[in-house]
Chain A
Amino acid sequence: MTTPILEIRNLHAGIEGMDIIKGIDLTINAGEVHSIMGPNGSGKSTLAQILAGRDAYEISEGEVLYNGKDLLDMDPNVRACEGVFMAFQYPVEIPGVKMTQFLKAAVNSIREHHGKEALDAVELMGLFKEKAKLLDLPNDLMKRAVNEGFSGGEKKRAEIFQMAVLDPTFCVLDETDSGLDIDALRTVAEGVNTMRNDKRGFLVITHYQRLLDYIVPDHVHVMVDGKIVRSGGKELALELEDKGYSWVDEKLAGAAG
């Protein structure tokens, strides 16, 4: 039996009068990994940010249900508390806010939301240590300010580390692979794979088939100009790699020709 975690229905969205998302339908069931690929500027990150609750974008049409509830109606922190996690394409540096301080607050906000008691400092440190090990996260990163001065790869790894700590139900990974070296890619992918289970859903945004060798998706979608123009199984990614986006989209084909 399939249980949908996320149902996007006819979503239209944009910013300052400019349409970016132009009618998206997508259902992700518990246990599934979906991948979205698509050319630069096609709206992948916009979709990810909308799912996470970035209010800069206006929703002009459509709805998004998360576990049957209206996702778009929830504040970003409520979404996080309900189990939505988005690994940013460009994680922001926050000087002066220590990684541990921030993650403690995040973990305990989420616990409070579920009526659970706050973890104390010792329990939290234990949790952080365990997940840091899973992702091979350099020790000193935890002592630093959030993402401050992290290398590109460290930032991405830290995102997945946070994901592991916060234990979400629905995860969006926005180009987590870009900036990672081969070894880091494998570590991060393994981290994600250990989190795969029949309750979680993943939406993995990437430009590269390589990531999908490690995190094998159940479905691949191609997004062009704010729309999903093609969906298929994991072999679609291979074909794309081979033939380019013009193969799936006539407009692009026309432009290329």
Chain B
Amino acid sequence: MTTMTQNQTMRDNSWLLTELPESVIEHDAARMPKWLADIRRSAFRQFTADGLPSAKQEKWRQINLRPIRETAFGLPADGATDVSEAEVVGHSLPFVDAVRLVFVNGRYAAELSDARAMPSGVTVQTIREALKSESTILETHLTKYVNADDDPFVSLNTALLDDGVVVHIEKNITCDTPIYLLCITTAADGPIITHPRNLIIAEDGAQATIVEDYVGTDGEVYLTNAVTELVVGEDAHLHHYLLERESDAAFNVSTLTAYHKTSSTLSSHTVLLGGALVRNNVNPIIDGEHCHSLLNGLYIGRGKQHIDNLMRVEHRKPNCESRQFYKGILTDESRGVFAGRIIVSRDAQKIDAVQSNQSLLLSEAARANSMPQLEIYADDVKCTHGATIGELDEEALFYLESRGLAEPQAKAMLVHAFAGESLERMNLPVVQEALLQMLTQRLPFTSAANV
């Protein structure tokens, strides 16, 4: 542990406030291919030019970044992990058949991972491994999809990208084994910032299930700034999950970009539970005809949590269907924000898009903001969006109570019903069951649920 502390002190200089020492970028460049070092340098220049976003920028209007700005983060040191096998098991979703890649403070932890043999045609590597191999996947795809405009966090991630997962599913290969990325952050020695970076490529006709899971220890302060790029090839079908269960004092900014080719299907499920300040960026780019995109989100805020969702659905080609269903459950003084935008290009006729954001407020002080937006340049499309913000239905509550259910149990049943819709859209029972339990633990009265 001493080496890590030393290392952190060396790099710790409240760098988000000032400027990230270029030396870090150059230091790492020595062990990277030139193309990557160059990408990192230019992203770094972008980040220093932009600085942290201000509340004047439209994308950042609803979120107060001051807690992040005022925290002196250090970069995690290489090689130092103090996470035990037991802790990993404690954090882990109980998959029986998944490949599990464990990252601690943004670095792959081989000894904690469970990298069972993959079916042929499926490659699961870390970025560091992939850089050492012959594979050109990274150079071909990395950073090619994600949009860093007005998002310094993306630039920062790219500037400091150093590890993460590269998944490659070859043409017409179906990978039945879920690929589970467990990202654990331990910040007992002071706030750190990590930059997980993942690239998932499903070639034409390929199928796979990817689960990203971000966890930490309550009370610890850190910032996870993750970026995942998905490429869904022609006729490919990806199931993607992002579970955010960070420490209650942590910050999580994640950006998911999904690039769709013709006739591809993506079902992406996002569940945000932890974190003091959470920003979830989701950006499907639907650049082929006959695609299906499902974005299924559930966020649960309590205490003073602020959970902010920014969605940008880009329909670039005709004859596609997209669905965005986001639900928030907010209690105590928490706040949930949903800003969804569907952009339909001029040539993207016959788009069928439905966006809905429903918020359930469980306390007087909880707040929800919902801003669905349509930006439509084509003339023959069917796009609808809707938002509801409400409390538990009094009549339903009374009905349940009048049949013998105590108030907490009746409330729990209604909250579970509200969340249940989101859970039912998922296709992994392990995740569904684990989430049901987490829901029960997180909300004050839901432990009374007899479900």
Contacts and interface: CB of A to CB of B under 8 A. Distances in A.
B450 interface: yes
A81 B395 CA distance: 19
A80 B399 contact: no
B417 interface: yes
A95 B451 CA distance: 15
Contacts of B414: 94, 96-97
B111 to A, nearest CB: 43
Contacts of A94: 393, 396, 399-400, 414, 417
Interface residues of A, number: 34
Nearest to A52: B402
A77 B418 contact: no
Nearest to B420: A96
Interface string A110-132: 10010000000000000000000
A106 B405 contact: yes
A96 B404 contact: no
B110 interface: no
A255 interface: no
A87 B421 CA distance: 28
B417 A105 contact: no
Interface residue SS majority, chain A: helix
B386 to A, nearest CB: 16
Interface string A71-101: 0000111011100011010011011110001
B398 A105 contact: no
Interface string A54-83: 101000000000000000000111011100
A33 interface: no
A79 B402 contact: yes
A54 B407 CA distance: 13
B5 to A, nearest CB: 50
B404 A81 contact: yes
A88 B403 CA distance: 11
A92 B399 contact: yes
A77 B407 contact: yes
Interface of A: 52-54, 56, 75-77, 79-81, 85-86, 88, 91-92, 94-97, 101-110, 113, 145-146, 162, 166
Interface of B: 393-396, 398-407, 409-410, 413-414, 416-418, 420-421, 450-451
Given A91-B399, A92-B396, A146-B399, 9 more contacts: A54-B402, A75-B406, A77-B401, A81-B404, A85-B403, A97-B396, A106-B404, A109-B405, A145-B417
List of 9 A-B pairs having minimum Cβ-Cβ separation, nearest first: A96-B417, A80-B404, A106-B403, A76-B401, A109-B404, A106-B404, A110-B404, A105-B450, A92-B395
